[in-house]
Structure 1
Amino acid sequence: MKRVTGIGGIFFQSADPVRLGAWYRDHLGLDVGEWGGAVFPWGGPGSASGMTIWSVFARDTKKMEPGSATFMVNFRVDDLDALLAALRAEGCDVLDATESSDFGKFGWVIDPDGNKVELWEPPAGQ
């Protein structure tokens, strides 16, 4: 339930990468290796089918708020509602707002470094 199902390559800095890696492991279920990262193979056994989106937003976008970064990572998830409930129970900073559209369901959490993280449950079959 708490496993994200895929992203492309995302690289960013932290003043305390070990602490931040542990937060992503403990709360989002990433399999963070000793080298500090996680791998999401596409199309293999147990992995999601799909794609990774790359997009540039205008400087004045509100999409990153209330996060403090100029980027946002979007993680695919299997059950958004269950994950958001689990994150709230774990004391994470989960935003109240969610969105549903033809593209799926979206929710957000703020990581310990102040980065807004998007959680996306794709429509069935995607």
Structure 2
Amino acid sequence: MAKVTGLGGIFFKARDPAALADWYAQHLGLQVEGWGGVRFDEDPARPGYTLWSPFAADTTYFAPSTQPYMLNFRVDDLDGMFAQLQAAGVATDGDIEDSEYGRFLRIMDPEGTRLELWQPPA
């Protein structure tokens, strides 16, 4: 069975993403990168990392969800997960997307939260 192996990222809406990122850097010591978020490298024996990233309050990236956040989960076998979801009748937001950062699939949970499933590159 394909499964989630960890949290890949927390993405959320903010009124002023840059100012919020500055606050987190100043008060909590987050090392905010030029793209506006933070990458937490974890276990070097396991592929992937975790991202923390504020988005503009008017972003449509989480659509069709109306939630102010989106969760990204790392998975071990995105093709297997896709097949499992389809067999269970879970609607996906398109097909698997391949990129330089790995492979992605987006779905909605029953509460209307957009979930991004991510298989990091090997």
> What is residue 90 of structure 1 aligned with on the other side?
88
TM-score by length of 2: 0.64
1:15 maps to: none
For 2:76, the equivalent position in structure 1 comes to 78
The answer to whether 1:103 aligns with 2:101 is yes
Which whole-Å CA distance do the structure 2 matches of 1:77 and 1:93 have between them? 18
Structure 1 or 2, whichever has the larger Rg, is 2
Root mean square deviation of aligned Cα? 2.4
Q: Which runs of 5+ in 2 are unaligned?
A: 11-41
- Kindly indicate which of the two structures has a greater share of residues assigned to strand: 2
Tell me the equivalent position of 1:115.
113
TM-score by length of 1: 0.62
1:107 is paired with a residue whose SS is strand
Which letter does structure 2 place at the counterpart of 1:67? S
Q: Which runs of 5+ in 1 are unaligned?
A: 11-41
The SS at the match of 2:52 is: coil
1:20-65: per-residue Cα shift (whole Å, max 9, x none)? xxxxxxxxxxxxxxxxxxxxxx64xxx8354210001112222101
8 A Cα contact 2:4 2:75, kept in partner: yes
Percent of paired sites with the same residue? 47
Tell me how far 1:9 sits from its aligned partner.
Answer: 9.2
Structure 1 CA distance for aligned equivalents of residues 50 and 95 of structure 2? 23
